[in-house]
Structure 1
């Protein structure tokens, strides 16, 4: 079965990392996965994708639909027919699946990874018109709709999404094998020049607006007032990194903030964190919260994040974004005492038994690919028999 995953790029972000977990774990004798990206830049996962026998296919200029349509048609002609087009680019999936439908692709999946309801509500008229058109095309051309959470489903498929049997929640699973490897926190800290006795606040996320790094820095500034021997470990890259660096400098925190960049060993870094801080403005789910719980790290995060992320109640603490940075700081400092109350091995077992293990996630995905494709083939055979 040939599957084309449509993504903006294949760098080390949440959706892309999940797709890599799928690619590594799926039975590649039965499923051939290729990746269509919207960039000419070399992607972080590109070499591994090719090593695993898949292709990275470039389809450019999505902002010019008529050009993109021509490029998409060329891709399908050049790389052959696909049984499934699985699109992960939110509303623009409507256009992609329309093109796939016209090209005769039998299984067309729109996948929502983010809760953008409040953005849609604030959009101006031209953008509202765009959303309506894309929603119409998704409803018309998608054979399946998947979502990372219930709120992500409502963002793309509407508030009444549960009334349509095509739409469903498919939790993105993580590869938990790395979390079974013991981590020496002192060793990890030493790599970044962090002393063993320092209180380490951690964050993993791309430097862009939804991750709310500006507020994160304000919280850390308040933490330092109570705990001068504190450090903020930031994992990730993104367009707003320079803005955040300047804010850190203005607050006189440069010596206490570590930028770790993009990392393939996030599980190791989490082992060196005392508290995981995640004040996102919105999330489809926030897979790094699942990883932090698997690492046994107490988490303080915004209450806009779907409740499906709460796997281990003793490790999670929700706060409103309307609360002050000082209140967030006090909570983070209090959570410092929580680490160790439940062992990392116990935490890992809880996550393993949830729907967020890659095993469970992959099982559901494979079933959806094969079930939908079989159903389509059966209906095609019936139509052929009737016509003859």
Structure 2
């Protein structure tokens, strides 16, 4: 069976990492994936090629009809049993192309909402254009998609409501390759080791430097804890368009000796093993894979109170959730978590329960098995 999967770029993001981890399990089910993306040079591209995955490229536009024609040409040049789009909110054009060729079409919804640039959301005209654009995609997705998969219950709600009853919709939680986390080297670089040597509490955040990850808010919360006097340290793993802006803010706030920019590092195990808590203040998320990874590595998590975060974390940690727009609330929850850690209320039993929670719900084997079942069910019709 051949499945064409459409992504934006094979970079180090939750979608791309998860899909890469699924490949061995899908191969065992005789499912061959071809990845189609509109940008070259992602950090994971070579790993996909090494795994034997064919990669195609196309020029994505903002004109749905043109996107449909682009995909139509790709599908006409090769025989595919199923097409799977990871562009949850903007997959309508791909649905049209698959309808033209009678190829089963799946849409994955990886986020709870579509993120528009702030200047677009603040403009009446641009907001109206965005709504019309998304509405067009939503109409054709609902009309022509064979299956719509939400990778959290919240994500799926974009296409459904409480009255919706249909086998078109399905929940498949993201999976984590826990074995890779366990195998990774635990050794920090000498530079990072020196940075945290005198730390009384080491905070960790992993995520791309983009607006949804809320890095500027994160720095404000960290500053509110008086980290210089308290000897707190913060490690930020990732890169992205806001990297330099966040670095400048750290410098302006006088926190350069308290914040370490680790850049892109696929081995997050060594940071998790040396963190006292994981701080995740996203404005919105699809599920929050790194929250799951942190719990598996027995790191307490303090996150924004998004509904997907409630799904991704053990119930014990919900008491530390906060409003991602309220710095006082975020800082207060961090103080409470530090106090709770030091009082040993967050003990081995709590941490063990959280680890078991993610093992019960978010294994890569479970996710890949569910995807294989869907591919075979609709691809055989």
TM-score by length of 2: 0.88
In the TM superposition, what is the alpha-carbon distance from 1:173 to its structure 2 partner?
0.4
- Cα distance in 1 for partners of 2:324, 2:112 equals 16
Q: Residues 335, 277 of structure 1: CA spacing in aligned structure 2 closer, same or farther, 3 A cutoff?
A: farther
Checking the alignment, whether the CA contact within 8 Å between 1:113 and 1:147 is kept in structure 2 is yes
Match of 2:270 in 1: 268
Matches within 5 A, 1:337-356: 337=342, 341-342=347-348, 347-352=354-359, 354-356=360-362
Q: Does 1:142 align with 2:145?
A: yes
Give the whole-Å Cα distance in 2 for the aligned partners of 1:259 and 1:103: 48
Where do residues 193-204 of structure 1 align in structure 2 (5 Å cutoff)? 193-198=194-199, 199-204=201-206
Deviates more, 1:315-324 or 1:123-132: 315-324
Seen in structure 2, the aligned counterparts of structure 1 residues 90 and 69 have a Cα distance that, compared at 3 Å, is same
User: CA 1:182 to 1:31, structure 2 compared with 1: closer, same or farther past 3 Å?
Assistant: closer
Is 2:217–2:324's contact at 8 Å kept on the other side of the alignment? no
Aligned twin of 2:95: 97
Give the TM-score of the pair, scaled to structure 1: 0.87
**2 CA distance for matches of 1:302 and 1:327?**
12
Give ranges in structure 1 of 5+ residues lacking alignment: 377-388
1:61 Cα deviation from its structure 2 partner: 3.0
Q: CA deviation at 1:73?
A: 2.6
Cα distance, 1:253–1:339 mapped onto 2, change above 3 Å: farther
Cα-Cα RMSD:
2.6
275 and 77 in structure 1: CA distance in 2 versus 1, 3 angstrom threshold: same
Deviation at 1:167, TM superposition (A): 0.7
SS in structure 2 opposite 1:253? coil
Cα pair 1:4 1:36 within 8 Å, conserved: yes
Q: Which runs of 5+ in 2 are unaligned?
A: none
Rounded to whole Å, the distance in 2 between the matches of 1:146 and 1:160 is: 16
Residue 57 (str. 1) matches residue 50 (str. 2): no
Pick aligned residue for 1:359 from 356, 362, 365: 365
Secondary structure of the 2:320 match is strand
Alignment correspondent of 1:380: none
Q: What does 1:87-236 align with in structure 2 at a 5 Å threshold?
A: 87-105=85-103, 107-116=104-113, 124-155=127-158, 157-160=159-162, 162-181=164-183, 187-188=187-188, 190-192=190-192, 193-198=194-199, 199-225=201-227, 228-236=230-238
What is the number of equivalent residue pairs in this alignment? Answer: 368
- Measure the CA separation in 1 of the matches of 2:253 and 2:353: 39
Does residue 288 of structure 2 align to residue 283 of structure 1? no
